[in-house]
Amino acid sequence: MCKCNNSYRDDKLHHECGVLGIYGVEDAAGLAYYGLHALQHRGQQGCGIVTVDADGDFHRVKGEGLVTEVFNEAKMAKLPGKMAIGHVRYSNAGCKGTENLQPFLFHHNSGDFALANNGQIVNYHQLRDELEDRGSLFQSSSDAEVLAHLIKKQKFEKDTPRIYALKAALNQIDGAFACVVMTGRRIYACRDKNGFHPLAIGKLGEGYVVASETCAFDVLGAEYIRDVEPGEIVTLDHHGIRSQFYAETERHAMCAMEYVYFARPDSDIEGCNVHNYRKESGRILAKEAPADADIVIGVPDSSLSAAQGYAEASGLPYEMGLIKSKYVGRTFILPTQSLREKGVKMKLSPVKTIVKGKRVVLVDDSIVRGTTSLKIVKMLREAGAAEVHVRIASAPLKYTCYYGVDVHTPQELISNSNSVEQVCKLIDADSLAFLSHEGMYKAGKRQDLCIACFNHQYPTNLYEEEK
Amino acid sequence: MCKCNNSYRDDKLHHECGVLGIYGVEDAAGLAYYGLHALQHRGQQGCGIVTVDADGDFHRVKGEGLVTEVFNEAKMAKLPGKMAIGHVRYSNAGCKGTENLQPFLFHHNSGDFALANNGQIVNYHQLRDELEDRGSLFQSSSDAEVLAHLIKKQKFEKDTPRIYALKAALNQIDGAFACVVMTGRRIYACRDKNGFHPLAIGKLGEGYVVASETCAFDVLGAEYIRDVEPGEIVTLDHHGIRSQFYAETERHAMCAMEYVYFARPDSDIEGCNVHNYRKESGRILAKEAPADADIVIGVPDSSLSAAQGYAEASGLPYEMGLIKSKYVGRTFILPTQSLREKGVKMKLSPVKTIVKGKRVVLVDDSIVRGTTSLKIVKMLREAGAAEVHVRIASAPLKYTCYYGVDVHTPQELISNSNSVEQVCKLIDADSLAFLSHEGMYKAGKRQDLCIACFNHQYPTNLYEEEK
Amino acid sequence: MCKCNNSYRDDKLHHECGVLGIYGVEDAAGLAYYGLHALQHRGQQGCGIVTVDADGDFHRVKGEGLVTEVFNEAKMAKLPGKMAIGHVRYSNAGCKGTENLQPFLFHHNSGDFALANNGQIVNYHQLRDELEDRGSLFQSSSDAEVLAHLIKKQKFEKDTPRIYALKAALNQIDGAFACVVMTGRRIYACRDKNGFHPLAIGKLGEGYVVASETCAFDVLGAEYIRDVEPGEIVTLDHHGIRSQFYAETERHAMCAMEYVYFARPDSDIEGCNVHNYRKESGRILAKEAPADADIVIGVPDSSLSAAQGYAEASGLPYEMGLIKSKYVGRTFILPTQSLREKGVKMKLSPVKTIVKGKRVVLVDDSIVRGTTSLKIVKMLREAGAAEVHVRIASAPLKYTCYYGVDVHTPQELISNSNSVEQVCKLIDADSLAFLSHEGMYKAGKRQDLCIACFNHQYPTNLYEEEK
Amino acid sequence: MCKCNNSYRDDKLHHECGVLGIYGVEDAAGLAYYGLHALQHRGQQGCGIVTVDADGDFHRVKGEGLVTEVFNEAKMAKLPGKMAIGHVRYSNAGCKGTENLQPFLFHHNSGDFALANNGQIVNYHQLRDELEDRGSLFQSSSDAEVLAHLIKKQKFEKDTPRIYALKAALNQIDGAFACVVMTGRRIYACRDKNGFHPLAIGKLGEGYVVASETCAFDVLGAEYIRDVEPGEIVTLDHHGIRSQFYAETERHAMCAMEYVYFARPDSDIEGCNVHNYRKESGRILAKEAPADADIVIGVPDSSLSAAQGYAEASGLPYEMGLIKSKYVGRTFILPTQSLREKGVKMKLSPVKTIVKGKRVVLVDDSIVRGTTSLKIVKMLREAGAAEVHVRIASAPLKYTCYYGVDVHTPQELISNSNSVEQVCKLIDADSLAFLSHEGMYKAGKRQDLCIACFNHQYPTNLYEEEK
């Protein structure tokens, strides 16, 4: 996660990013391209691919923009080799700039290496200060660069094999990371002790693929093998897959928001399909908070599964009451204030024929600041909805995240200082209900989720400046 | 419809295009931009906007590509005025070129005018030959240019008011059109005698909007008024809306494929919502052709409503068994043959966790050549589906279309020469059923649909060279 | 020349455009690309190429921008065939738009044809009005479209062979044109009766090339044959070169500004090399108007040859006292007012070391409004020049042009209402002298130049609205 | 200079790059933009600008391409502040990639700093190895990154003020550099002990500009003050200009090729104008090696001044016998082999009318591999030249350069193993002469030039791996 201060704030949480590795398959870069495209929802600000060719030479292309904008055939031709790692990145406005784009590529006379990371190091500032005091120079504000310097310092001072350097470096880090490190011969896939973010391994032809989400496996025709474990380093090389643990799992704490909002519905995270999680959360929500209504609609796209589950469990018909525009890239011209006042809709439009005169259950995945919820409720009323009952397929979002999710300051979160009844009024709904904490666990049939942004129980130490 | 011969053939039907008009609202071009964006699904090859400013001067921007690619803020600044017409265009490969992009803009000392059309003139060749024999020069291969010359010839030879010229011109045309004609002072919205393609009028602030689909109204915050009638010319000017009929409705024959596949689900066509039509067609299909299965899945995006209807009526759960990649524009790098062989998926991926071990009902809107259906069935089997029962929410597609839909030659249509049983084998399904002709009518609660491509009953005369 | 009113005014005259034809050589479009690139100085607003392939089918690519911006390898691949015509276009701001870009391509059942023109038809409005009264529809404001309609009307009404239609059409036109017309089998190169603008024929391998300037021949490795004569139609086809005259030369009147400013120095126009003309004009100027000075400098790029001639004849050293920035395309960011006030130079910078303390002879090709001359004199003084003696290698520019040069209204021309002495003061020079009318003839060793913008003797009738 | 091995070879030497700094003027980035544009000839592969705003925050934009391609108004808006440094870069093919683009920007808890360099460090590999052994991580293959690490190591280990760190770092370096280092408050301009490459300081409004060439001063309206001396560090801050020497000038050795070929003719290098140098070298050459001929022509653009000098001294007329195409950016389509065989010229065309039947003196600045010279001589003969006498305004190029010029391996230099007579035959000239070593000194009225590539007298130690 980028450490600069001025971050962009809209009314959605943002995933940090997505990582990918390909080992041992011809045209690894081509495969990485399609894999990153499948991970595009995890970060739209920039992306990159680094490959290693048969001679052990590294090649890199990275840039700001979508995968389809950064890469073209000419650039792909510059990425030979059977090993590749890639990265898609979300960033808040202040951290833009090519220097923060990953994968990072480091040169050193003991061997070059590349690195891509998804996560946020909690003791980043302490570690960086120490490194700088010892003469390290940084060219970015990214966690990944700290990790690289840690690895290299280990190597230098102790002259140990690289895997030991890696283990020693990872042990110094508190917080969240799911990273791939590529040397001239192998790829290491590593996950933090708590397993905050997903990282899975698949079989791809003669070789392997490792990715933040399994949706990348399906598009590549790869076979899911297993997830990287918390505290594990998985080595991909000509020996196949080998495993080491640099630390014991402290407390497995998979980010619940990955299921609720971030991940693609066709991904499986640690054995549980995301669409199934969402549908189940909708079913539980229908039981916890039924509504006397005519139809169920979801906020596209992330809430459609939960809405279908709610519809199924409630026996109400699921209808297409809201339509989302497909904005194509950054070239879309935003409507002027004057056009917005005339009624031009930005992203969502109601389908009048469907909602007119109906008592509507509106299912959404979460409420952040509440401004979007208010707009949607208003929009539905203007389109003729008789009643609007809002049902949220997660608990009230109250606290910030230190593990890689760009949550707002607690003050901006509407549920931080308002009761459910107050929020209901603020978003102008006829009724409002959230899924219980227990419901969130039940939907995934697992208790080992991190729901710290809902219940303030952070799985790691927090450092002074983060608090 | 473009008249050149070498047309592109993939395994989908293609709509011809979409038209739009804005009358009497500030920044008409800005509104046209968002309106055309909502109509983008009707044509992705090119688009354009023509405006008329306060002095009666015409301004035009058009180009190849998506609405978001052709227009930018600098170009929008060149389109002043409170009147605009716009067009999005599909074209088969051979007819590309700026000269075929609409709206057309014609200069004449009796007054300039612009024109945009959706449809196909059946007696195009006869009319063009006549016009050329009388000295007309054509710069495109588009129906719209013929229409313009017809209007101008009328004007010239008979020196009549423009509305009479327009009526006389329209009366010479057989076939399908839904067009907007803009002069320095007004916009005419016209529809052919059979009403093949939709065209609706809405109230937009102080002015009006006319569009191929009502989904453009919702994004603009406009209020639907009514559809333009078959054989009607609606005039939009400072008098408001005025209506004239240049001909009597011969036989109302709305293109059924607009409901089945072309239109956006949030559009209403002549009083019937498209999502509702599709959902109802799915319900009817479930009754006509039930299946002994575990889950229902739809082919995204156009078949999801029908699949939901099928699920509701059958009592089976509706699941997200197929995922569609969102390709962004034309910059996507197509996988090489070698990558496709490795398993890289182009557009659709199966969600293994969902389909594995399940007996699946696969609902699709139509089968054209059958190649895509075969691929999807195969893909589902590879992902572990126990059985695949294909259900099509329209009848077997057997004949070509002369009214603006780029249907393939009959020989290419798999149902033209194969029985349902044969098709079932060809696409490797466990069972296959189509919706009946009667079911297609019932889903829309209307008999006045054109289903000529299904039943060979063409509502108009056909001319020699078309046959 | 474009007929719309709002034209862009800077302190330079502008050529109208350049035309090119290639007959009978493989990859005619490729050759046209390099040829048009050599003609790029004649028009930077837009360009296009039309080819005819072996089957007689026409192909076109055109667009706004430089040759290197409009064409790329993908677009060149769409232009097969051994025949091509091309065009580069200058336009004043009001006439932009794809519809005005040439070559034009016209479809007709008697045979398609394409057309590109350099010039200005004096009786354009009369001809267009007549044609529109007879039902012609225009899609541009270009002379070339009138010419096309005239050809087609002839063909239609009299059913004559095409060459007769062409002759009849050309005979109706007064004014300036140098055009290429391409049918499915041949290219016609035509020049007006007065021969206002250049058009030359060369041998290119097995085939031929025709171009506005011979500099296109050198880049293509073609051999100059001869110029097209005033009033001549040269036919290029499988018979080779054939000549016909549609009219007698009325009075040969080659535009003097082609020599003075428009053409590239390496071009030969009707037997006289442009660099040689300019150098000779400089020598004559040195004799007509000597100066007591230390060095001679020219305004880059068009005045360098004249300055060298002046230096040679005067015995003064020729030095590089002014440097011109090479702006690359339209992406150059113009300095803000604030930056200009800080001293940022736009196009020309003085070389201080060279001009400091020197008495400078500044040679320029012409003075239009005088604003640039004033700026340059001031710039040289600020750079330390002791004296600045301005010498202009053409006569005072006083009148407008009706033959294709975008001259300003007479009121804007500084010499229209000011004596040489007054202009000298207005541009703050120590002395000022222009070349005499006789000197302009002598430099080219020919009397048959059109110098109407200097001496008001227009070689043709002028029509009411033009006056 | 980039250290990777696979370098691009054409028949020209290449300058390394250009640097620029602006201190204390509003919109420093805007000024840097125009300044870099004036330095564009020193490197076309990529460029960048870093600014420091009023709060001491650093901002950077860099990218591959020309100044006009990398920057646009949106990007300029991201570069606030009154301090800026910039860089334009040439690179051989193997070293492309964003990571090698300068200025570099380094973050450190003792203060961020940016750095841009022109030159080549002779003991680069030794220094880098040492640094890596002590744990430094490199992200590029650029000299500038080594310099940054050296500065930071000093700072870290000795905890000295920054200027002492800078001095200590520079003292470790052997070879050529002319660099600007920008901290949050000041800009340091530094030059190596031998003064291989130029770096000059000017007054710009309230502030200062430092640039590789003074041509950037003229475009900005800045006043030349003086050159940075060999071994000097000039500090620009709110105290104005302050000077310190980190070392004594060992032996001033300005690169002669800067005068001969690299620099723009309007630049002054250490008091001597480049155009004047070249003209004088032409005059001396005319005396050293007269020719019995009719006209003198130069190879555009870099040899025109020398050709004018040769013409002046010999009394022969200087003519425009060769024309250079202005290729616009990287979008120019290169002619295919087939088109080149047809005669399509790439860069230079002869002007037949001028050279036909003439005995030509062809003046060029240098001969590298000789392939271009052979082409030009052949081209002139084909255009009808009776004789071609080649005169080179520098000495025979025989040895490689270790100071920042991408000279070829000695084996590729035609004069390395061939006598003048042999070269004359190889390039098919009627006669050939080079300027003497003494002539090169005389043209600049200075003996302190580095002409090591001509006479093998390298001014510094050379390290093993470089030899």
- Which carries the bigger pLDDT value, residue D113 or residue B99? D113
| pLDDT at residue B97, rounded to an integer | 66
| pLDDT at residue C136, rounded to an integer | 86
The catalytic position among C2, C17, C47, C450 is: C17
Task: Name chain D contacts of C305, Cβ cutoff 8 Å.
Answer: 320
List the chains bordering chain A where 3 or more Cβ pairs fall under 8 Å.
B, D
| pLDDT at residue A467, rounded to an integer | 47
Find the CB nearest B31 among A25, A308, A339.
Answer: A339
Report the alpha-carbon angle B123-B128-B129, nearest 5.
105
Asked if A187 contacts A210 with a C-beta cutoff of 8 angstroms, the reply is: yes
CB atoms within 10 A of CB D221: 22
Which of A62, A112, A137 is the best substitution to test chain D (most D C-beta atoms within 10 A)?
A137
CA-based nearest distance A393→chain D, Å: 40
Report the alpha-carbon angle D227-D228-D234, nearest 5.
135
Look-up: residue for tokens 């110094």? A172
How far apart are the C-alpha atoms of C46 and C100, rounded to whole Å?
9
Contacts of residue D83, Cβ cutoff 8 Å, sequence gap at least 6: D21, D22, D23, D24, D28, D51, D52, D182, D187
| pLDDT at residue B251, rounded to an integer | 81
| pLDDT at residue A7, rounded to an integer | 34
H or E element in which residue A364 lies: strand A359-364
A-chain residue closest to D48, CA distance: A98
CB atoms within 10 A of CB A455: 14
How far apart are the C-alpha atoms of C53 and C80, rounded to whole Å?
6
Task: Name chain B contacts of C125, Cβ cutoff 8 Å.
Answer: none
Instruction: Give the CA distances from residue C306 to residues C282, C298, C302, in Å, rounded to whole numbers and listed in that order.
Output: 4, 7, 8
Contacts of residue C405, Cβ cutoff 8 Å, sequence gap at least 6: C13, C14, C15, C16, C255, C257, C262, C453
Cβ distance C136 to B138 less than 8 Å, yes or no, reads no
How far apart are the C-alpha atoms of D373 and C27, rounded to whole Å?
29
Whether D24 shows a pLDDT value over 90: the answer reads yes
- Give me the amino acid identity at D54: A
Task: Name chain D contacts of A129, Cβ cutoff 8 Å.
Answer: 109
List the chains bordering chain B where 3 or more Cβ pairs fall under 8 Å.
A, C
Cα–Cα nearest to D9, from D372, D256, D346, D311: D372
Categorize the per-residue pLDDT at A2 as very low, low, confident or very high, splitting at 50, 70 and 90.
very low
pLDDT under 50 in chain C at which residues? 1-9, 93-94, 465-467
CA-based nearest distance B184→chain C, Å: 16
Cα–Cα nearest to C320, from D363, D293, D218: D218
> Could you tell me where the DSSP H helices lie in A78-227?
124-133, 143-158, 162-171, 215-220
Find the CB nearest D266 among C71, C336, C349.
Answer: C349
Cα–Cα nearest to A287, from A270, A312, A318: A312
| pLDDT at residue A6, rounded to an integer | 33
Asked if C147 contacts C117 with a C-beta cutoff of 8 angstroms, the reply is: yes
Cβ distance A106 to D148 less than 8 Å, yes or no, reads no
How far apart are the C-alpha atoms of B450 and B454, rounded to whole Å?
9
Cβ distance A135 to D129 less than 8 Å, yes or no, reads no
| pLDDT at residue D95, rounded to an integer | 53
Q: Which fold has domain A17-252?
A: Glutamine Phosphoribosylpyrophosphate, subunit 1, domain 1 (3.60.20)
* B277-324+345-455 placed in CATH 3.40.50.2020: yes
Structure-block tokens of residue A455: 């219940």
Do chain C and chain B touch with ≥3 beta carbon pairs under 8 Å? Answer: yes
Torsion, Cα of A345, A347, A352, A354 (10° steps): 180
How far apart are the C-alpha atoms of C43 and C65, rounded to whole Å?
10
Asked if B200 contacts B189 with a C-beta cutoff of 8 angstroms, the reply is: no
How far apart are the C-alpha atoms of A335 and A377, rounded to whole Å?
21
Cβ distance D221 to C308 less than 8 Å, yes or no, reads no
CA-based nearest distance D297→chain A, Å: 40
Which of B3, B137, B143, B145 is the best substitution to test chain C (most C C-beta atoms within 10 A)?
B137
How far apart are the C-alpha atoms of D262 and A298, rounded to whole Å?
66
**Can you give the residue ranges of every domain in chain A?**
17-252, 275-325+345-455
| pLDDT at residue B333, rounded to an integer | 76
Q: What own/partner pairs with CB < 8 Å and gap ≥ 24 does D386-389 have?
A: D386/D294, D386/D357, D386/D358, D386/D359, D386/D360, D387/D293, D387/D359, D387/D360, D387/D430, D388/D360, D388/D362, D388/D428, D388/D429, D388/D430, D389/D291, D389/D293, D389/D359, D389/D360, D389/D361, D389/D362, D389/D429, D389/D430, D389/D431, D389/D432
pLDDT under 50 in chain B at which residues? 1-9, 93-94, 465-467
Asked if A331 contacts B69 with a C-beta cutoff of 8 angstroms, the reply is: yes
Q: In this structure, what DSSP letter does residue B24 have? A: S
Find the CB nearest B345 among A68, A76, A219.
Answer: A219
| pLDDT at residue C191, rounded to an integer | 96
- Range A130-158 average pLDDT: 83
Q: What number does CATH give the domain C282-324+345-444?
A: 3.40.50.2020
CA-based nearest distance C214→chain D, Å: 10
CA-based nearest distance B126→chain C, Å: 11
| pLDDT at residue D96, rounded to an integer | 56
Which of C352, C375, C379 is the best substitution to test chain D (most D C-beta atoms within 10 A)?
C352
pLDDT tens, D378-416? 999 999 999 999 999 999 999 989 888 776 688 889 999
How far apart are the C-alpha atoms of D221 and D223, rounded to whole Å?
7
Cβ distance B320 to A332 less than 8 Å, yes or no, reads no
CB atoms within 10 A of CB C467: 8
| pLDDT at residue C153, rounded to an integer | 81
Report the alpha-carbon angle D328-D282-C279, nearest 5.
65
Do chain D and chain A touch with ≥3 beta carbon pairs under 8 Å? Answer: yes
Task: Name chain C contacts of B109, Cβ cutoff 8 Å.
Answer: 128-129, 132-133
Cβ distance A132 to D157 less than 8 Å, yes or no, reads no
Cβ distance C352 to D218 less than 8 Å, yes or no, reads yes
Whether D235 shows a pLDDT value over 50: the answer reads yes
Q: What own/partner pairs with CB < 8 Å and gap ≥ 24 does C153-156 have?
A: C153/B135, C155/C110, C156/B133, C156/B134, C156/B135, C156/C110
CA-based nearest distance A28→chain B, Å: 10
Cβ distance A156 to D148 less than 8 Å, yes or no, reads no
| pLDDT at residue D37, rounded to an integer | 93
List the chains bordering chain C where 3 or more Cβ pairs fall under 8 Å.
B, D
pLDDT tens, A204-251? 999 999 999 999 998 898 999 999 999 999 999 999 999 999 987 778
How far apart are the C-alpha atoms of C386 and C374, rounded to whole Å?
16
| pLDDT at residue D327, rounded to an integer | 58
Q: Which fold has domain D272-324+335-449?
A: Rossmann fold (3.40.50)
Q: What percent of chain A has pLDDT over 90?
A: 68
pLDDT tens, C290-313? 999 999 999 988 899 999 999 999
Whether D250 shows a pLDDT value over 90: the answer reads no
D-chain residue closest to A140, CA distance: D107
Asked if C17 contacts C88 with a C-beta cutoff of 8 angstroms, the reply is: yes
- Which carries the bigger pLDDT value, residue B332 or residue D127? D127
- Give me the amino acid identity at D76: M
Which of A218, A336, A380 is the best substitution to test chain B (most B C-beta atoms within 10 A)?
A218
pLDDT tens, A367-377? 999 999 999 99
Q: What is the 3-state secondary structure (H, E, C) of chain D?
A: CCCCCCCCCCCCCCCCEEEEEEECCCCHHHHHHHHHHHCHHHCCCEEEEEEECCCCCEEEEEEECCHHHHCCHHHHCCCCCCEEEEEEECCCHHHCCHHHCCCEEEECCCCCEEEEEEEEECCHHHHHHHHHHCCCCECCCCHHHHHHHHHHHHHHHHCCCHHHHHHHHHHCCCEEEEEEEECCCCEEEEECCCCCCCCEEEEECCEEEEECCCHHHHHHCCEEEEECCCCEEEEEECCEEEEEECCCCCCCCEEHHHHHHHCCCCCEECCEEHHHHHHHHHHHHHHHCCCCCCEEEECCCCCHHHHHHHHHHHCCCECCCEEECCCCHHHCCCCCHHHHHHCCCCCEEECHHHHCCCEEEEEECCCCCCHHHHHHHHHHHHCCCCEEEEEECCCCCCCCCCCCCCCCCHHHCHHHHCCHHHHHHHCCCCEEEECCHHHHHHHHCCCCEECHHHHCCCCCCCCHHHC
Mean pLDDT lowest among A288-302, A324-338, C267-281 = A324-338
* A275-325+345-455 placed in CATH 1.10.10.10: no
Asked if C196 contacts C253 with a C-beta cutoff of 8 angstroms, the reply is: yes
Cβ distance D308 to C326 less than 8 Å, yes or no, reads no
| pLDDT at residue B1, rounded to an integer | 39
CA-based nearest distance D187→chain C, Å: 21
Please state, rounded to an integer, the average pLDDT across all residues of chain A: 89
A-chain residue closest to B33, CA distance: A333
Find the CB nearest C344 among D34, D69, D323.
Answer: D34
| pLDDT at residue A155, rounded to an integer | 66
Task: Name chain C contacts of D317, Cβ cutoff 8 Å.
Answer: 312
D-chain residue closest to A141, CA distance: D107
Which of B27, B36, B219 is the best substitution to test chain A (most A C-beta atoms within 10 A)?
B219
CA-based nearest distance D390→chain A, Å: 41
- Range A409-429 average pLDDT: 94
- Range A253-265 average pLDDT: 94
Q: Which residues of C touch B (CB under 8 A)?
A: 60, 62-63, 97-99, 104-110, 128-129, 132-141, 148-149, 152-153, 156-157
- Which carries the bigger pLDDT value, residue D97 or residue D168? D168
| pLDDT at residue C419, rounded to an integer | 97
| pLDDT at residue B358, rounded to an integer | 97
Cβ distance C219 to D345 less than 8 Å, yes or no, reads yes
The residues of B that are catalytic are: 17
